[in-house]
Amino acid sequence: MYLFPILNGVWQGFLISILLFGPAFFKLIHTSIQEGFKKGVLLASGVFFSDLLVVGLCIFGVADFMQSAPFQKIYSVCGAIVLLLMGIKSFRHPYKAFLRSYSSRVPASKNVFKGFWLNLINPFTFILWFNVMGSISLKYADEPHYKNLLTVNLVTILLVLFLMDVLKVFLSHLIGKKLNARIFFMINKYFGVLLMLISAFFMARFIGLVIK
């Protein structure tokens, strides 16, 4: 009975993982290259927990509120401001200050927190899961075990996304082992630029929602 939702969840999770590019994705690659496999996996765990929270909110009927224009406006502009500040900080980080932060030990648990919030401040995380929930709900709407099938499908997607993130962490970590501190510094600057570009995209979305 649960074979179809599991198989459905596997290909959906794989497809989402390939197509999804947001601040959490770039931070995942950045952390894995610079700070290693363990911290990359912890960041991926934070992303997983934030996805789990959004799915839970959708299941418990908060989806309509989070899809409303006022919520999307506030969320887009808040996400844009946070990412802009993070991007400026990474881009303007002096080399000597970078070396001090690079050699210092940051608590591993902080990466879980970063992954959680970076994924959560992305308004497209909500849009993604609204669409996923809608398409899956239609598939099982006439089934007698609707809730069980829906849950199995969603849990499978979440697990596949997490495993794909771990694979990205592993591959990025292998690349990071061959790089020196100067290259890490340049990656940090480019990461800052990427965050500022994503921030500009979120701000453009906010403006589009305001003038609509």
Residue 69, both tokens: 């224009």
Q: At which residue do the structure tokens 């927990």 appear?
A: 49
Judge whether residue 96 has pLDDT over 70: no
In this structure, is residue 42 part of a structural domain? yes
Least confident segment among 14-18, 74-78, 106-110, 167-171:
106-110
In this structure, is residue 22 part of a structural domain? yes
Judge whether residue 46 has pLDDT over 90: yes
What is the reported pLDDT for 103? 53
What is the reported pLDDT for 95? 63
Q: What is the pLDDT of residues 121-159, one digit of tens each?
A: 887 788 788 878 877 877 777 777 777 888 889 899 999
- Taking residue 166's Cβ as centre, other Cβ atoms within 10 Å add up to 18
Residue 20, both tokens: 């999804």
Q: What is the mean pLDDT of residues 23-46?
A: 85
Alpha-carbon distance 145 to 183, whole Å? Answer: 53
- 169 Cβ contact partners less than 8 Å away, ≥ 6 residues apart: 28, 32, 37, 40, 41, 43, 44
For the chain, the straight-line distance linking the first and the last C-alpha, in angstroms and rounded, comes to 45
- 92 Cβ contact partners less than 8 Å away, ≥ 6 residues apart: 192
What is the reported pLDDT for 116? 92
**Please, which pLDDT band fits residue 71 given cuts at 50, 70 and 90?**
confident
Alpha-carbon distance 205 to 157, whole Å? Answer: 27
User: What are the DSSP calls for 105-158, one per residue?
Assistant: PPPTHHHHHHHHHHHHT-HHHHHHHHHHHHHHHHHHTT-TTHHHHHHHHHHHHH
Residue 98, both tokens: 């970078």
Q: What is the mean pLDDT of residues 33-57?
A: 89
In this structure, is residue 109 part of a structural domain? yes
pTM for this model (two decimals): 0.81
- 101 Cβ contact partners less than 8 Å away, ≥ 6 residues apart: 93
In this structure, is residue 174 part of a structural domain? yes
Q: What is the mean pLDDT of residues 67-73?
A: 75
In this structure, is residue 48 part of a structural domain? yes
Q: How many domains does the chain have?
A: 1
In this structure, is residue 192 part of a structural domain? no
Judge whether residue 62 has pLDDT over 80: no
Q: What is the pLDDT of residues 103-116, one digit of tens each?
A: 555 666 788 888 89
In this structure, is residue 34 part of a structural domain? yes
Average pLDDT, the chain: 81
Q: What is the pLDDT of residues 178-201, one digit of tens each?
A: 766 677 777 778 888 888 888 888
Domain residues for 60?
A: 3-68+95-185
Rg (CA), the chain: 19
In this structure, is residue 209 part of a structural domain? no
What is the reported pLDDT for 66? 67
